[in-house]
Every structure is written in C-alpha cells, then in structure tokens.
Amino acid sequence: MSWTVPGARLARRSVPMWAAIAVGCSGETPVTHPPPPPVGPGRPFEMGFAPNAPRPDMQLFFDAVDSMSAVSEVTILQQPVPWPELLAGASFDSLVEDRGGVADHLRAHGLDILFLVDPLDGLDRRAEDPGLVAAGRSILEPEIRQIHEDWVRAIASRVRPEWFGLASEINTLAARGDPALYAEIRDLINTLAPQVRARAPGTRVFVSFQVDEANGEFGLPPFDHYGLVDEFDVDAFGLSSYPVFVFDAPDDIPDDYFDALRAATPLPLIFVEGGWSSASTPATDGTPEEQADWVRRYADLLERIDARLFISLTFTDLDIGSLGLPPDRAASLSNFAHMGIVDTELHRKPAYAAWQSTFERGH
C-alpha cells in the first residue's frame, strides 16, 4: 500500500471547477503578504503546501490560498493528466489554460510553483491513474503515452514552474509494482526530462521517493530503493514521508532518517509531500500537539540534509464527505483528512504556530 495522496488531487476538481477558479483569478487582485523580517538563523528550504480548500467551494479556495500565502513561499500543483475530460473530447488547450490560470493566481501571491504531472494513482503508486483505468486505457498504449507526453510539454510551456515533477514515489512502483509498467514510466520520465528543460529553461525536474518504505518502516521485503537514483535523468529528488503511520511520536524518528538518500545522490533533495495527523483516524492516533512536534522535527531533519523545499501535504483539513468520492477512496483518504495546519473552518491548529515560527526564520 502507498500512503501518499497528492495534494491538489485530493478533491479531483472537475473541469468547471478549475475553469471557475481560473476565470475568477483573472479578475481579482490577490492579497499579497510581504515576507516577515527574519527571526534567527535562516533555513535552507522554502516552505509551502498544496493549495486546497476543505470543500469544493471557489470562495473557500481563494480564502485558503490567501491564508496559506502568509506562511508560504512555494506551492505544489499535483495534477494528473485530465483523462476523463480529454478522452471525452474536451479541448486540450482549454484544459491546459485552466491549470495555467490557477498557477498565475498562485504566482500573484508571490509563490513559486512546483507542478507535478503524476502518471500513477495517488492512493496506490503501483497502479495507473484511476481516471485512465476507469476508461479501460493504459499508459502502455502508444496513443495514451503520446497524449501524456503532449500534456507535460504543454504544461511546461504554459506554466514554466520552478520545479516539475514527472512521477511520485517511484520506488514503490519499482519495488512492488508491475515491472513492465515501471520500465515504461522510467522511460517516460527520461524522455520528458530534457523536453521540459527545453520548453521551460530554469525549471528543475524531479521524481519523488517514498522514504518510509525505502527505510524499511513498512516491514516489506528488502529492496534497494536508493539504488534507483542512477536510473533517472533528473535535477533533484523529492521526498515523501508520513511518519505518523509508523512512529508513535515525532521524537521517535531517528536523526539520520533522510541520510540514506542524501548519501545516494549529490543532487538537491526537496521534501514534496508529507504530514502528521492531528486526530485519530482508522490508521493512526495523532494529536494536535504531535502534529506541531512533527513540524519542528522535520524542519530539523530537513535542515540536516540541506533540503531545498519543505512542502506539507495540505494547508487545510478536509471535509471528506463533501468531496463526492467513492466509498473505498473516501475511506483511504480519511487517514489524511487532519493533516492541515488549519481546520475545515480555517481556524489555526497548534501546528500553525510551529510552522510560522520556522517560516519566520527566513530563507
């Protein structure tokens, strides 16, 4: 099982919702927040979240982004290729522009953009995107792969993000997935990486690793996860980690938790998703105080490896019942519903103060 859930994909917004956000963005002046004066020694990493709202509500999305930008320098847009819409005949260019409009809105808040087009299922990295699977199609088909490549190139040209992700938690697929699918995704990544750089000079390309699994915390059969680093033409490696599922408390996480990946590659490391639940769920017993401790603990561990980014899963908690998900996916997602640093009404949790304290050190 993969515990990861991509941030912006949590609610899997429909085309009209994305279009509404993009149109709304074009006609308003975003709230901007000047950076606070540094307090204490500077940190090596930029900080941020995936932009989300607790419920599918456009005004709530805008309000959440306004609040998020006060304690963020970077944001991650983690979006799959919109397979249901494209396969139904929707305009390719319009769908790209919808995403571009959201990125423009976030940039107007002073945020750097990390854009991730993930070919895998956010709730199970061994599988392909569920929208593609539901249509009975596969990235292994030349036609589908071509559409995926066209989409990545178009997003790179339109958005020109500071960071571009081509796959999430790729080590999970390599260790426990279909070897043919892994080989295809690996080739896809290495084909697209130079094309992204050509279309968006200055953009750095990455894939991410699921660190908890790579470190053996799930009790799975041994696999040389970090030996995969030489298989990818990338500029950085992302880290994904949800230690709440494997440790009783943040203080139990070893000081060298990220050292193995640091030793495996000289490339920059970026923390692109993770979190600690502030409430009990079917899979964990987190508390608000533990969540605040996690923020402080991971800030220390990421500084130890000179990480360039610290991106937490979501800014807000999630109202799972409002998202209209199938029961099985809603049940899985409920384990991540309380990982925001504000609740579903945008009220601050104790983790907010811990995050803000680190943020105010300056980058």
Torsional class of 183: left (φ above 0), alpha (ψ -120 to 50), beta (otherwise): alpha
Looking up residue 99, the CATH number of its domain turns out to be 3.20.20.80
Averaged over 276-292, what is the pLDDT? Answer: 95
Over residues 280-308, the mean pLDDT reads 96
What is residue 33's predicted lDDT score, i.e. its pLDDT?
62
Q: Give the DSSP H or E segment for 157.
A: helix 142-159
What pLDDT, on the 0 to 100 scale, is given for residue 337? 95
Structure tokens at 70: 């006060």
| Containing structural domain, residue 312 | 15-359
For residue 13, is pLDDT > 80? no
Alpha helices in 27-75 (DSSP H): 58-68
Average pLDDT over residues 300-327: 95
When pLDDT is cut at 50, 70 and 90, the band that residue 329 belongs to is: confident
Cα–Cα distance for residue pair 291/33, rounded to 1 Å:
25
**pLDDT surpassing 60 at residue 103:** yes
For range 249-255, the mean pLDDT: 98
Tell me the per-residue pLDDT of 149-162, one tens digit each, with 9 for 90 and over: 999 999 999 999 99
- Give domain status of residue 301, yes or no: yes
Return the exposure string of 108-145: e unless at least 16 CB atoms fall within 10 Å of the residue's CB, then b: bbebbbbbbbbbbbbbbbbbbbbbbeeeebebeeeebb
Number of helices (H) and strands (E) in the chain: give both, helices first: 13, 12
Residue 100 has which token pair? 């571009």
Where residue 7 falls among pLDDT bands split at 50, 70, 90?
very low
Q: Could you tell me the two tokens for 283? A: 């899979």
Q: Under a CB-based contact definition with an 8 Å cutoff, are residues 213 and 220 in contact?
A: yes
Is residue 8 one of the residues assigned to a domain?
no
Per-residue pLDDT, 123: 83
Does residue 6 form part of some domain? no
Total length of the chain: 363
**Tens-digit pLDDT profile for residues 33-54:** 655 555 567 999 999 999 999 9
111: part of which helix (H) or strand (E)? none
Which of 2, 95, 86, 11 shows the shortest CA–CA distance to 51?
A: 11
Residue 39: predicted pLDDT: 59
Tell me, yes or no, whether 275 lies in a domain: yes
Q: What pLDDT is recorded for position 122?
A: 86
**Which of these, 197, 75, 194, 101, lies nearest to 93 by C-alpha position?**
101
Q: What integer pLDDT is reported at residue 40 of this predicted model?
A: 63
**Torsion (CA) 70, 169, 2, 50 in degrees, nearest 10:** 10
Tokens representing residue 228 in the block:
């995969």
The answer to whether residue 10 is domain-embedded is no
- Domain count of the chain? 1
Is the C-alpha dihedral spanning 76, 124, 306, 362 positive or negative?
positive
Q: Does residue 9 sit within a domain? A: no
- CA 300 to chain centroid, in Å, comes to 20
Has residue 103 been placed in a domain?
Answer: yes
For 327, the token pair is: 């029961």
The mean of the pLDDT values for the chain is 91
- pLDDT-derived band at 341 (thresholds 50, 70, 90) equals very high
Q: How far is CA 147 from CA 11, 137, 185, 188, in A?
A: 23, 12, 14, 12
Q: Which residue from 336, 302, 329 is spatially nearest to 45, judged by alpha carbons?
A: 302
Q: Is residue 161 part of a domain?
A: yes
Reduced to 3 states (helix: H, G, I; strand: E, B; else coil), residue 280 is: strand
Q: Is the pLDDT of residue 312 over 50?
A: yes
Cβ contact 273:4 at 8 Å: yes
Beta bridge partners of 204: 163
